A and B are shown apart, each in its own frame.
Chain A
Amino acid sequence: MSLARRIAALFRAKAHRVLDSAEDPREVLDYSYSRQLELLNQVRRGVADVATSRKRVELQLSQLRESAARLEEQARQALSLGKEEIARQALTRRATALSRADELQGQYASLQEEENRLTAASRRLQAKVEAFRTHKEVIKATYTTAEAHTRISESVTGLSEEMGDVGLAVQRAEDRTAQLQARAGALDELLASGVLEDATLPAGRDDLQAQLEGAVAGGDIDEQLDRMKRELHAAPASAALPTAPTPSAPAAESTPSAPSAESTSPVLSTESTAGERRDQEGTS
């Protein structure tokens, strides 16, 4: 027997077991009807569960995208201050956030599909519940043993098949949702830790934000020092001669013009690659 016939036979066998177990075939009608209502509730719960999971994934996706944008901003800021190590850290975390987002996008699509399927299943079952309810009252009213048995058998078999089908769909959705829950939970923890949002949070190294802020503050102080030094040089030209070479050496190292010109080009190049990456995201 072919595969498709065997599966069909399985569904029928199930219905026949139910029919055979009843002394009066009319009992089967009521039993089937109550099972149907139970299943309908189960499908509706299934739809709600899948929708909840989908919304959770949706939220995580938008969090990851915000993180990526924030990290890119941090990288740019760090680079403009000449802190390449921090910029590298931020870009690495940005890449992680983006790849998580890619994975999630796939899961999101499959959840969406599952939700559509279940919604359709629930609608079909609802229509059959209505049809069966009318049918069962008619059969009960016109009950004449042999005839009724055939008609009950027909409708119960058709119904049982639908219920088996919908039951399988619910099981499948439950399995998939359970798998996703586990993964979503892990990602929630990761997002809550902030590691995917903020390159300045510790991830086994020093607090990068503190370094960044230190660098900003340090820059200001260096500038002020330079200005003071220049003022000092300008005023007592001859008197301070012996002490002059010592402060002038570090001052030359931190001359603002040279390093800032140097750091401009890398900022531009990362911007353009980041822009390209964003374009790709947009098209995918």
Chain B
Amino acid sequence: MIVRILGEGQLDIADQHLDELNALDDRLQAAVDAGDTEAFTGALQALLDSVRRLGTPLPEDTLAASELVLPDEDTTLEQVRSLLAEEGLIPG
């Protein structure tokens, strides 16, 4: 599975790690639903750490879409919300 970390690039993650990632992804989603800023930061950090640890960076000239796109750790819950609320925010 290809995962992108915004501002960092794409990584490829082997299928055997998907359960681990999905669990962390659920935690992140729960934090977003609850509007819990602290839990959001913690869950995002944990997910990013796992992706970086388990993933292999894709070559820079790869042209492939990602299945998951993660904001980087500086991103606030509010920024994520506004990103989701308005598609037009994504430039390019």
Contact = CB atoms under 8 A, between A and B. Distances in A.
A167 B90 contact: yes
Nearest to B90: A164
A123 to B, nearest CB: 7
Contacts of A131: 61-63
A169 interface: yes
Given A7-B70, A10-B84, A168-B7, A127 B61 contact: yes
B92 A164 contact: yes
Contacts, number: 112
Given A3-B29, A10-B87, A168-B90, A158 B71 contact: no
Interface in A4-44: 4-8, 10-15, 35, 39
Given A10-B84, A14-B90, A124 B9 contact: yes
B64 interface: yes
A199 B84 CA distance: 53
Given A2-B26, A10-B83, A160-B92, A127 B60 contact: yes
Contact of B65 (A124, A132, A158, A167): A158
Nearest to B68: A4
B69 interface: yes
Interface string B1-37: 0011011110000000000001001101100100000
Contact of A35 (B64, B67, B90, B92): B92
B63 to A, nearest CB: 4
A11 B65 contact: yes
B61 A10 contact: no
A117 interface: yes
Interface string B33-60: 0000000000000010000000000011
B34 to A, nearest CB: 12
A130 B66 CA distance: 20
A98 interface: no
Interface in A101-125: 117, 120-121, 123-124
A68 interface: no
Given A11-B69, A130-B61, A166-B92, A121 B84 contact: no
Nearest to A170: B91
Interface of B: 3-4, 6-9, 22, 25-26, 28-29, 32, 47, 59-71, 80, 83-84, 87, 90-92
Given A14-B90, A155-B63, 20 more contacts: A2-B26, A3-B25, A3-B28, A4-B3, A4-B25, A7-B71, A10-B69, A11-B65, A14-B87, A124-B9, A127-B59, A128-B60, A131-B63, A157-B65, A161-B69, A163-B91, A164-B92, A165-B92, A169-B7, A171-B91
30 contacts: A2-B22, A2-B25, A2-B68, A3-B80, A4-B28, A4-B68, A5-B68, A7-B68, A7-B83, A8-B66, A10-B84, A10-B87, A10-B90, A11-B65, A11-B66, A15-B65, A121-B7, A123-B60, A128-B60, A131-B61, A158-B64, A159-B63, A160-B92, A162-B92, A165-B4, A165-B7, A166-B92, A167-B91, A168-B6, A168-B7
List 6 A-B pairs, minimum CB-CB distance, nearest first. A167-B91, A163-B92, A127-B60, A167-B92, A131-B61, A158-B63
